[in-house]
Structure formats: structure tokens, C-alpha cells
Structure 1
Amino acid sequence: MTTSQTEVSTFPHIRAIVRANGTGEVVIAGNSRPIDASDETALRREALTIVTDLAGVLSRPVRVYTEGPEGDGELVVHPDGNIDEVTAETKGRRRRAEKPVSTPSPPTIVHIDEEGTEDKESFAQEPSSAPEPPITSVPSSVPAPAPEVLSRRSLKETSFLISDPVVQPATQGFRGFLTRLGIRMTPSETELAERADIHAVSQHWPGPRTIAVVNRKGGANKTPTVAALAAVFARYGGGGVLAWDNNENQGTLGWRTEQGPHSSSVLDLLRDKEQLLSPLAHNALLAHYVHHQTEDKYDVLRSDENDEGDHEISADEVDSVHSVAAKYYRMIVMDSGNTARAANWRAMITHTNQLVIPTTTMEDRAEAAKLTLQTLAARDEHSAKLAENAVVIISQWKPEDTDEARRIAAGFEPLVRRVVTVPYDQALKAGRIRHAALKPATQRAWLAAAAAVAQGL
């Protein structure tokens, strides 16, 4: 099909190159995107897909110069995938169209008639045989215009700093690629959603906020959830986040996170709580008691890991530790044991601002999550509000558990404020948990989960 469209822009300059050896590339404004395919037909199809995507992003046809074993050519590719061939005839018309005869535009005279109205006339009119009338001034009988009345505004109501927010250009995907080429593109809806989640988790609230991660069943992904949420909030919010292992005796948060240059636990902090609560105490003192995560920017307060000890944290001790943590941190993410009747578990709930219920796609963990919600809903008014406003985070236990995750999510959606699913990721199964080691899809899911939590704070 030949085209009569001769006004298609040549910017950006696009070349689609297909080689007989099964390789090719699409070069956009000097930047190459290599393509490989099994045969020449597949190469052309893949090149066309890339160019069509570009036309769709630009919302207009684009011109493509093709090079291949059969010779060179020129095409116009439309956003809907239609292709027009540019022939020698249309090229000639385009070249002639690109060289218009420049004709100076005639000047314009503005006359003011007796009634004070304007009449515009061009010198390009047919010449008149009548003599040109003399130029006269405006008659004195024309009334002078009434003085303009200005309404004054208060200085307090005026600002030169108020303006509409500027949307930053796209940085991701094909739109981001074009932005880097110098073609400013607006971000996609997917990128805008991610930016909104980042904004949500980057907030600082007026006063410390406490998040409790609870499920009455062991192996429900409580500790990985604590580490993942703490990392997201600290990375985007600039630190000030404490992950606290509030087990009755020995928990696993210390095993799954980085250890500092000491072996301190919550018992050491309790021993020195008076010093830490002193008005003269400073933030650097906390380094003796918590374990800083150098990559993920949060601190960990470990539970007692002494195998020979039998100390169980009491409710009063939870209150004391929380008073210290609230002095030094803007956010406290608390891991928990499996006993909802334990004194330290109940004390944790009294300090909680946002409840998080983690579970995996194993049925017994999901059932335990539901029973945990039921327990809190029936306990007291504060606990019931936490249960109603809870966020459930479902982590896939196996890669093939996508449908099961959806099924469990549908069961929780009527019960809580938000439900978020996290895909399977081997990096969460065992060993130290590091945000950068997670797959991009997993990182995005935990960002969405943290944003859902943040909306309840």
C-alpha cells in the first residue's frame, strides 16, 4: 500500500535493519535495540512490534528507514500497526511540499472610526483608483475611555509560589527509554501507581508509629514480613525504623538479619533502660543494643538468644522497651510469638497502631490468620478496630501457588481493610533477608504491601 501522507515527522530517526544471518536491530535516535529471531520473517515481525510500540507511545505515525537483504526502503508505521510504503513519487511530493514559496505577509493598518471601533485592513487588497484619504487624528468628539477600576487584594491572599504540580517524566519501560533519548514522555499508569506507593511509605508521621505482625501459627511468614516491611520503610523514608523481636523468649528475627559487632538483646536494653531514657542520653547509645542493617537501613532489637536462660518478657517489660524505642525511632515493627494469651503479646497490641496479619498459601496458616483476627475482634474495642483495619499479606509458599493465593485473598477481602499478595521468592525462604536480593516483582509487591500499611497510620 502506498501512502499519501507526506507530513510524517522524521524525528526520531528510526532504522530497522534485518540481516540474512538471523540478526537485526532497531536503531532509534542512535540507540540500538538488538533483535534475534529464527528467520527473516520473524525478525521483521519483531522489528515492526518495536516500532509500532513507539508509534503508540508517541500517539502518531513514525517514519522508518529499512535495510535488508532485498534492499532498502522507507515506511510509515501507524500506532494501530498499519504500514504505508513511501514510494519515489510520494518522496518527490514531500520534497516539493517541504520547499514552500515564501511570501511576506502584508502589513495591516488599524483604523479607528468615529465611534471608536477598530477596522483592520490589509495592504494586499486590490489597489483603488480613489485618492488616498489624508491621515487625520481621532476626532475630539470621541469620548475618552472610562478609567479602569482595579480591585485590590490583600497581600496575605497573594502568592507567586502557587503553581500546579509538575509531573516528572517517565523513567521506566519504553517511555523511560524515549525520555533518555530526549523525548519527554509522561509516565504510564503503572509507573504512577509505583510513585504513589513510594510517596506513601516515605511519609514521616507526627509521633512514633507501631506495627504489630501477628499470626497464632508458626511458619506463617511473620519474621520475613517484619524484615521486608522494615526495609521498605527505612529505605524510602530515610531510616528511623526498628524491627523488634517480641517473642516470649527466643525468636528467629536475629537469625534472619545482620548481626552487629556485639551480641546484645532486649535483655541488655532492659538492664540499661534508665540510662537510655535519661534526658542526657543520645542516639548513638542505641548502637550498643541494636543491630544495624547496613544495606536496608533499619535496626534490629533481638530477643534473648541465650539457650540456658528461661526469662520470659512480661507486659511491664514490653511497656519499658516500647518507651525507649518510641524515644529513638519514628517507626517500630514488632515480630511476635504464637501465643495470643501471652502477657507480652497482649502488651504489644496495646501499643499497636496498625495490625498486619501474614500468612502463606498453606491452608492451616491461612486458617490461623483468620482465627487471630477473630480473637482480636472479640477482645476489646481497641483490638477490634485493629482487626477491622488490618492488612493481610499472603506470601506464596511455592511458585505454582498463584491461584491458591488469589483464593485465600478473596476470602480475607471482606474481613479487613487491605489484602496484598507476594509472589514466591527463594531469597525469602532461608538465610539472611536482604531487600536487594529479592526479585523485582517481589520488591514491587512488598512496596505495595508497605504502602497499604502506611495508609492505616
Structure 2
Amino acid sequence: MTEQTVQVTIKNTGGQWAGSYAVGNQSYDLDGRDRNGLYVTAIKRVTEIAKREDNAVRTVIDDHHSGMAEVVLIDPDGGVERVETKPLTAEPVPSRKAAHAAAAEAETTPETGAQAPAAPAPDTPSPSAQAFVATLNQAPAAPAPTPELQPSYETASFGQRPRASQGAVIAREGFNGTLNRMSGGMLRLPASRAEARRARLVETLQAVPAKTPVTWAFMNSKGGGGKTTTLYNIGAIIGSLTSHKILALDGNDNHGTLGDKGRRQSHDATVRDLLNVLDAYTKDNPSGTFVPPALIAPYLHAQPEKFDVLPSQNRAYDTKVLTAPELRRLYELVSPSFSHVLIDTGNNIEGDASTSTVQVAADVADHYVFSMMGKIDNARNAFATMDYLIRAGFGEKVRASVAIVNKTHTTAPEDLDEIIEFLKGRVSTYVIVPWDAELDRGRDIRFDRLAPATRNAYLDAAVAILDPNSHNRP
């Protein structure tokens, strides 16, 4: 069937909001007292058209107040593919996949005027396990081949866990990889132990089914423990390697920094904006709590690594905090649209689930990730967070959790040993992430610029988090 197009127009003239939508040559007015009300009504009307046509409807929402146009595909069941957010005068792009590819290309385009590599076609499949392994082990700017990487990260599992299959992996890197390529397929020399291990980790990650939803809360009651950085990089590697729909949700009470770590879209929407829209939508739909993904998508910030970020309110004039009941309501309405939800928690753990956003995250999460720096004082705060959650009745989740220890450039071996000793018996698995100069800058994260050992460590952490039963002792 031919994909239908609906044109939605929203304007503000002299303080009065007005909207309309056009199907073919017919135009209809939209009901709504403000921009959010008009947007909610438009989404509802287009969903009705999609159901009637039993086909996706391409919808172009021209917001003359902001000067931007949101292009989405809305399915009969309310599913959505964001195609593009663009100035009203810009040409559209073909698909959401192409938008992700273009965002990734923009991040890697050199500033010298040299032509950047072409973005992959919209229908390009996700990379295979061995192809991505080669990307992981390739330094960001290596002019010549380097010696085989020896992983500088560490990981350990407390308890018995099954090992991944040990089938042969054909070399794509190093000397054997070079010979395999030169032979045109005549040779199939085996990969090194390090390369084979990475390949099996990627295969394990890609074999995890996309359940809906599975939620992780990233915990440490003290700021500066690396929660936000860890969450973003875990989202980046899972998004890059799988087709799972991933939401990184900033659950900080106010002024969270998750939005600062990633790339923002042309809009600056936050959890507060989405909550306002959800309030309007559920008021008009009191019989059910299902929220169409099309209603959520315009408030998300798509990342080049193929996952979405919903940042906390962080504007100077936005002083209204995100309350515990609001976080729970937001999670319950939004999470069914995703395979995995990663919640970046705040620092205020005191109170209960009616007053503390951290306790709400602890309650709704299926699993915990405790992030800490390789410093005794910061690690002690993570340990105190574990103890508090155990006393609050979450002991089983704590004991099944994953700990991420982020080394600093001053982490002493004896301090690391002390931290690891304390983790024994408290969590199921820990992963040590090496110090990385790129992350130490404190700027927005470019995952492809991280050192190979850092990317490898996050791969190991992602497997431990996404499928801990398949995690191995190295």
C-alpha cells in the first residue's frame, strides 16, 4: 500500500494557539488550548487515520512557533519511527536509520574540508560480531598497524557461571588477520585469545532477546562516582551492537547531566516537557495507561550509537524538581515502549519511595549497577548505598548487581585491591574500567574516540549487565 502523508500545522498568533491537519485536499482544525494540547490531538487523529488505512502514515508537523518541523512515521498500533527534526525550509531525509547514520557521520567528519566517508545506506544491517570486534580494537587515529592489544581491564564473577561456547573464531586483526585478507579467503587462521574473547562477548550480547522492558538503575549516593558516564557508554555499546530499543532516562531530581553527555537534537525537551504532555494525554484517555510511542518520540534525543536519551530538566529557569511520584508515573507510562531502560539516579537516597527518586528507581529496576571511582572515599559511598538498599529490603537485587570500578590516573594498586576485596560477597560481578584521557576531559562523550581498552571494558560490562548468566571469568 502507498504510504499516506498528513501535514500538521501549529501556530501561535498574538498569543493564541491554533492548529490544523491536512489529508489530501481536505483540511481540519485541531482542538487544543496550547501547543501541547494541539500536539496530543494531532497524534490521536493521525493514529486513527493509520488504523483506518491499516498502514503507516508519514506525518510532517510544522511548528511555526519554533520554526522547526518534526517528521515521523506513525503505525496503526501507535508505533513510531522518527525520521527527522529539521528547519521548516529544509529537505527531508528518508528514514530514522538514515538520521542516526547522519548523526554518526557528523561526529566523525574532519574539519579540514576533506570529504567524509559516506553514511551507510538506511537498510544496512547491524554489524556482525566479528566486524564490530575489529572496530572495537581499532584505535581512533592509528596511522599504522599496532601490536596486538592486551586487555588492561579486569573482570571477575563471584560464583559459578557457565562459559560461552569456545568455537573457533577466524582472525580479522593482527598478523593472522592480515594473512587471511591477503589470501582472499584461502586461509582461515585463528584469532588471538584476546580477539576471540571479544568476538564471543559480542555474540553473547547480540543473542540476548529483547524483552520489554528490562530496567537497570545506576547507583551511587554520592556525585562524581561515574554513574552518568557509565550509563551513557553502556547504552552506546548495546545500541551499537543490537537492535534493542534503549532509553537512557535521567532520574535526577533536578539538573541531571545525562543530557550533557550526549548529543541533543534541535529541541531542548526534558522530562518536565514530556510529563506535561503525558498529563494532557492521560486526562483525555482515562480508561487506559498505554501511551503511543509517537507521543513520546519528539521529546527524546537520538544518539549516533542508536539509543535515546531523555534528559532531566537542567535549564537555569527550571527550578521545579522531579518528584518521586512523577518519576514513577513517567517510568510506568514510557517504559513499555522500550526493550531496556537505563535510569541515571540522583544522590538523595534518604526517605522512601514516596519522597526519594532514588528509592523509586530502586523499586522499579530489575537490576542494579553500582558505579564508583577507583578511590577509597568514593567507593565507600557506593558501599554505603548498597548497605542502605539492603536495609530498605532490596538485598536480593544488591547481591545480584554489577559493580563498575572506574580507575583514575592516580588509582593505587593497593586501593584497588581493597575495593575489590570489599565487593566480594556483596555483588555478583565487577568490571574495572581503565582511566581514559578522553573521558577525563569531562566533555560530551564520543564513544568512538575512547581508547580500545576502555571500549573493551565497557563491552565486558555490557555483557555482565545485559546477560549476567553468560558472563565469564577471564
What is the TM-score normalised by the length of structure 1? 0.60
Task: Write out aligned runs for 1:295-306 (5 A).
Answer: 295-306=304-315
Q: 1:385 to 1:263 in 2, by over 3 A?
A: same
- The answer on 1:356 being equivalent to 2:369 is yes
Match of 2:416 in 1: 405
Aligned match for 1:329, one of 338, 358, 377: 338
Offset from partner CA, 1:61-97 (integer Å, 9 cap, x none): xxxxxxxxxxxxxxxxxxxxxxxxxxxxxxxxxxxxx
Shift of 1:401: 4.4
Is it true that 1:390 corresponds to 2:436 in the alignment? no
The structural deviation recorded for 1:309 is 3.2
User: Which residue of the other structure, out of 273, 286, 293, is the alignment partner of 1:283?
Assistant: 293
Asked if 1 retains the 8 angstrom alpha-carbon contact of 2:346 and 2:357, the reply is no
Alignment partner, residue 177 of structure 1: 178
Q: How many residues align?
A: 293
2:322 aligned residue (300, 306, 313): 313
* Structure with bigger gyration radius: 1
The equivalent position to 1:212 in structure 2, one of 198, 217, 227, is: 217
Name the stretch that deviates more: 296-305 or 318-327: 318-327
Q: What residue in structure 2 maps to residue 237 of structure 1? A: 242
- In structure 2, the residue matched to 1:424 is 435
1:192 aligns to 2:189 (yes or no): no
Per-residue CA distance 1:293-333 (angstroms, 9 max, x = gap): 1x211111111113233322223212221123322211111
C-alpha distance in structure 2 between counterparts of 1:231 and 1:315, whole Å = 27
Spell out the pairing of 1:112-123 with structure 2 (5 A cutoff).
none
Does the 8 Å CA contact 1:245/1:301 hold for their aligned counterparts?
A: yes
* Cα distance in 2 between the residues matched to 1:355 and 1:267: 25
Cα deviation 1:212-260 (Å, max 9, x = unaligned):
1010111111110111111111111125111111001111111221111
Displacement of 1:288 in angstroms is 1.8
The aligned amino acid for 2:202 is I
| Partner secondary structure for residue 379 of structure 1 | helix
Partner of 2:460: 448
Gaps of 5+ in 2: 1-146, 149-164, 470-474
Q: 1:401 to 1:437 in 2, by over 3 A?
A: farther
Q: Relative contact order (C-alpha < 8 Å, sep 6+): which is higher?
A: 2
Q: Which residue of 2 aligns with 1:23?
A: none
Change (3 A) 1:445 1:184: same
Report the AA paired with residue 454 of structure 1: L
Give me the whole-angstrom Cα distance separating, in 2, the residues matched to 1:281 and 1:366: 39
1:254 alignment partner AA: G
Could you tell me how far apart the structure 2 residues matched to 1:412 and 1:165 are? Answer: 29
Structure-2 separation of matches of 1:362 and 1:165: 36
1:189: Cα distance to partner? 2.8
For 1:134-153, list aligned pairs within 5 A.
Answer: none
Q: Which amino acid aligns with 1:359?
A: M
1:392 to partner: Cα distance: 0.8
Distance 1:166 1:410, change over 3 A: closer
* Residue pair 1:170, 1:176 contacting (<8 A) in 2 also: yes
Superposed counterparts of 1:31-180, under 5 Å: 167-180=168-181
Return the alpha-carbon distance in structure 2 between the equivalents of residues 441 and 360 of structure 1. Answer: 17
3-state DSSP of counterpart to 1:436: helix
Q: 1:229 to 1:440 in 2, by over 3 A?
A: same
Shift of 1:282: 4.7
The equivalent of 1:379 in structure 2 is 392
Residue aligned with 1:370, SS: helix
Equivalent position amino acid for 1:426 in 2 = A
Q: C-alpha separation between the residues in 2 aligned to 1:167 and 1:273?
A: 51
Amino acid at match of 2:273: D
| Deviation per residue, 1:107-162 (Å, 9 max, x gap) | xxxxxxxxxxxxxxxxxxxxxxxxxxxxxxxxxxxxxxxxxxxxxxxxxxxxxxxx
1:273–1:320 contact (8 Å) kept in structure 2: no
- How many Å separate the matches in 1 of 2:366 and 2:325? 19
TM-score by length of 2: 0.57
Structure 1 residues 188 and 299: CA distance shift in structure 2, 3 A = same
Other structure's SS at 1:392 match: strand
- Whether the 8 Å contact between 2:296 and 2:334 is mirrored in structure 1 is no
SS at match of 2:259: coil
Q: Deviations over 1:258-315 (max 9, x none)?
A: 111111110111111263898996534433211111x211111111113233322223
Identity between Structure 1 and Structure 2 (%): 26
How large is the Cα RMSD of the aligned pairs?
A: 2.6
| Cα pair distance change 1:407/1:331, threshold 3 Å | same
State the alpha-carbon separation in 1 of the partners of residues 379 and 167 from structure 2.
44
3-state DSSP class of the match of 2:274? Answer: helix
Unpaired runs of at least 5, structure 1 = 1-49, 54-163
Bigger shift: residues 199-208 or 214-223: 199-208
- Asked if the contact 1:204–1:330 (Cα under 8 Å) also holds between the matched residues in 2, the reply is no
